A and B are shown apart, each in its own frame.
Chain A
Amino acid sequence: MISEFRQHVIENLAKPNVRANFRKAMDGLMQRRLDQFPDPAELERIRTQAQAIRANALSKLPELLEQLEAKLTDNGIHVHWAETTEQANQIVLSIMQKHNAKTMIKGKSMVSEEMGLNHFLEAHGIDALESDLGEFILQLAHEPPSHIVAPAIHKSRQDVAKLFNDKFPDIPYTENIDELTQAARTILRDKFYSAEVGLSGVNFAVAETGTLCLVENEGNGRMSTTVPRVHIAVTGIEKVVEKLSDIPPLLSILTRSATGQPITTYFNMISSPRKPGEKDGPEEVHLVLLDNGRSNIYSDPELLATLRCIRCGACMNHCPVYTRIGGHSYGTVYPGPIGIILEPQKAGLDVHGELTQASTLCGACGEVCPVRIPIPTLINRLRYEGVRKDASTTPGTGSRRTTAEAAAWKSWSWSASHPAIYNFGTKAAARLRGVLPMQMSAWTNVRSAPQLADKTLHERMKEMGVADE
């Protein structure tokens, strides 16, 4: 029986164009990141610094969230708490309803993806339009993001040209990127003016000053958060940092890790609604702080490191599995290495536990993570959580334990901890190697079957007279 995940994988591996798009894009992103960190020692220094900032924030998370709420409130920003995505959606809806708002323009927000906000609002008669170019393309194509930073990375220029031609037949067909961008810009410009509410994510929320930081390249984030009368920001509770001085190092390592840019084109620091006498800015600003399983992750001292993530996407850019299967194969909001540790912890190992198998444990993700999340270690931990016999705080613990697999490991363990039996088995296997059945199609589909040597190393060492002490 082939799981849903493996079916996605098989389908997506069979799309040479999409695979080529990912390979090319990821190769480019890896090189751009590398160019930003010419000095390995300096990179390690700033990783330590970034790790320290995030670890510090998490160690004081409850206090910092309270401080953040107090500061934001002082600044005139309304703060809402949502334990679940349903609650978060309802909060956004009620703000919309209060203003009789029917249109929303959105900057890029993975938390809004997590909430399924667009579909929710649509079901309530509200039109939510994505303004990030990649998200705009995906909304036209009715697809979810395949990458957390570059959501439409799986699409080529030609794919986008065809899509635009299909959706906007009045615009002449073009594969020119500047012309495509201009077409999107023209369409979006009107929407920015007419939308009643703007929605954005948050990259960092500063507790000390009550500042919401937003990193972007297209200016759509600034438009979404300044032009409409109401701005709603949505974010996970882990995005808080303690001090304003935490921001420069974190921003620097974020943009360099993510897109290989020393800094993005836009960096927004939102600290209040429009003040009297100011010429722009929204009249009302809201922040929705979403938990959605994060508190539970927070309760485990090891898995807690998952929450250090600053969403740079470097782990997926460097992941040989992600590069090949693409973001859509995972079937989750967050794909790639961070996704395979985050999603099973949020939804439960019974739902997304198989994703922990989507790793060779090669360590590339952990090597590039700007805040040193030990992703391979956490994958190993979650594999353990998936098959352990007793309960733990991770949802779905033990749900991946099957009788057959457990029995196989038990039997392996028994023989490999009894050397006489192990050696008897290996010797026998070597003797019988010509007649052993080779039922291992998973291996031999692309590889020849491994041939056992005629004598084991144990035997050869004995023959050579190597000491056995």
Chain B
Amino acid sequence: MNKPDTIYFFGTCLIDLIYPQAGISAVQLLQREDIKVIYPQAQTCCGQPAWNSGYRDEARAVARTQLALFPKPIPIVIPSGSCAGMMKLHYPELFAGQPDEAQALDVASRVYELTEFLVDVLHIELKDLGEPVKVAVHTSCSSRREMGVASKIESLLDQLGNVTKLEQIRKTECCGFGGTFAVKQPEISASMVLEKADTIRATGAERLIGQDAGCLLNIGGTMEKQGDAIPHQHIAEFLWERVKNPSPPSPLSLKGRGGARSSSEEAPLPLRERGWGEGESS
């Protein structure tokens, strides 16, 4: 499609509550491309947790609330492969045969995952203003296998001259988050994420970049608990940090946890550096 003037932004509930900076950065990236962003304040959650748990009526009630938020015929950009997959691929299933099926299909047809939108629709050009940094990328399963957009985050990072990508072994394997899976099958999930954290650490990367808050929460939280964390960031936040001017002080020089929390969008810090509430664990 052609570059639109205006888009809807659906922030997702994990970003809303835990990683708002990722949402802010995504909006700033879009605005910098001369796109007007609409953020419907009535948005809540895409409904995926209930959908994946088999509670379809409950999922539909929540999804229906979102359907009403996007009346204009413009793209809906979502900084998550998982939530985008829910709205693009599963809303049509969830609303099949329902009175609002057409509305669900219309919404589904306008959904873009953020990196997909930046690359395929905006053809965004990025100039790297950051210091040299080595990163590992974790592409979420939903971005890779549902949305089929795994190559987009890679191509965005490839535009950044000072960023070196390092590849962990079994890169395409799931991190073990799986939404409620992490708490319903905690032992399996733990064994998966511990291995994922090890393989990422073994690359020697200085930062972990992902495109789904769930995976980042899972892998980052594990590294944090292990006490040998490398900072992790959502792709939107990382990109904004690299391309905005002036460049912020390198967050990699920051030490300690929980302290240096930024409340200003002008100086976003890697998510992990904003603290994980160490007193609350275990």
0 or 1 for each of B61-103: is its CB under 8 Å from A? (1 = yes)? 1101100000010000000000000000000000000000000
A279 at interface (Cβ–Cβ under 8 A)?
A: no
- Give the tally of cross-chain contacts (CB within 8 A): 234
Q: For chain A, residues 72 to 114, give those with C-beta under 8 angstroms from any C-beta of chain B.
A: none
B186 interface residue per 8 A CB criterion: yes
Q: Contact: A446 with B193, CB < 8 Å?
A: yes
Contacts of B176 on A, CB cut-off 8 Å?
320, 360
User: Would you call A452 and B261 a contact (CB within 8 A)?
Assistant: no
For the complex, what is the distance from the CA of A440 to the CA of B174, rounded to whole Å?
22
B136 CB → nearest A CB, Å: 18
A457 to B20, CA, bound (A): 5
> Which one, B49-57, B126-134, B202-210, B239-247, is touching chain A?
B49-57
List residues of B (5-64) whose CB comes within 8 Å of A's CBs: 9, 11, 13, 15-21, 23-24, 27, 36-45, 47, 49-59, 61-62, 64
A397 vs chain B, min Cβ distance (A) = 11
Q: Which of B108-116, B155-163, B248-256, B271-279 contacts A (4 or more CB under 8 A)?
A: B271-279
A324 at the interface (CB under 8 A from B): yes
Which of A162-170, A245-253, A270-278, A379-387 makes up part of the contact surface?
A: A379-387
When the two chains form their complex, are residues A380 and B44 in contact, meaning their CB atoms are under 8 A apart? no
Pair A359/B181 contact, Cβ less than 8 Å? yes
Given contacts A10-B187, A458-B41, A464-B24, whether A430 and B17 have CB atoms under 8 Å apart is: yes
- Residues of B within 8 Å of A361, CB to CB, are 52, 141, 178-179, 181
In Å, the complex CA distance between A413 and B46 comes to: 11
Which residues 380-416 in A have Cβ within 8 Å of B in the complex? 380, 382-388, 400, 405-406, 409-410, 412-416
Report the minimum CB–CB distance from B211 to chain A (whole Å): 15
Query: A366: nearest residue on chain B (CB-CB)?
Result: B145
Instruction: Return chain B residues, CB-CB under 8 Å to A430.
Output: 17
A413-B59 contact in complex given A360-B174, A446-B194, A446-B225, C-beta closer than 8 Å: yes
Using Cβ atoms and an 8 Å threshold, which residues of chain B touch A9?
A: 185, 187-188
Residues of A within 8 Å of B, CB-based: how many?
Answer: 74
CB neighbours of B265 from chain A (8 A): 460, 464
Contact indicator A419/B41 (Cβ below 8 Å): yes
B185 CB contacts on chain A under 8 angstroms: 6, 9, 321, 357-358
Tell me whether A429 and B27 are in contact (CB under 8 A). Answer: no
Q: Is the interface of B mostly helix, strand, loop or mixed?
A: helix
Q: In the complex, how many angstroms separate the beta carbon of B125 from the nearest chain A beta carbon?
A: 24
Residue of B nearest to A367 (CB): B145
On whether the beta carbons of A360 and B177 are closer than 8 Å, the reply is yes
Contact A417 B44, CB 8 Å, known A6-B185, A380-B52, A387-B53: yes
- Whether A468 pairs with B39 at a CB distance below 8 angstroms is yes
Determine the chain A residues whose CB is within 8 A of the CB of B182 once the complex forms: 442-443
B24: A residues at CB distance < 8 A: 457, 460-461, 464
Which residue on chain A has the smallest CB distance to residue B217? A450
Give A400 Cβ to nearest chain B Cβ, in Å: 8
User: Within residues 202 to 232 of chain B, which ones have a CB less than 8 A from any CB in chain A?
Assistant: 217-218, 221-222, 224-225
Q: Report yes or no: B15 in contact with A462, Cβ–Cβ below 8 A.
A: no
Evaluate contact between A383 and B54: CB separation under 8 angstroms. yes
Chain A residues with CB below 8 A from B2, complex form:
none
Asked if B267 is at the interface of the complex by the 8 Å CB criterion, the answer is no
Q: Closest Cβ of chain B: how far from A43's Cβ, in Å? A: 15
Q: Does B124 contact A (CB under 8 A)?
A: no
Tell whether, in the assembled complex, residue A416 and residue B54 are in contact, meaning their CB atoms are under 8 Å apart.
no
Residue pair A321, B188 in contact (C-beta under 8 Å): yes
> Is B151 engaged at the interface, CB distance under 8 Å to the other chain?
no
> Which one of A10, A324, A433, A466 contacts B27 once the chains associate, using CB atoms below 8 Å?
A466
Interface pair B54/A387, CB less than 8 Å apart = yes
Query: Least Cβ distance of A321 to chain B in Å?
Result: 6
Name the distance in Å between A435's Cβ and chain B's nearest Cβ: 10
4 additional contacts, CB 8 Å, given A13-B188, A451-B18? Answer: A360-B174, A360-B177, A364-B141, A453-B18
Q: A residues within 8 Å of B by Cβ?
A: 6, 9-10, 13, 27, 320-321, 324-325, 357-364, 366-367, 380, 382-388, 400, 405-406, 409-410, 412-419, 422-423, 426, 429-430, 433, 438, 440-458, 460-462, 464, 466-469
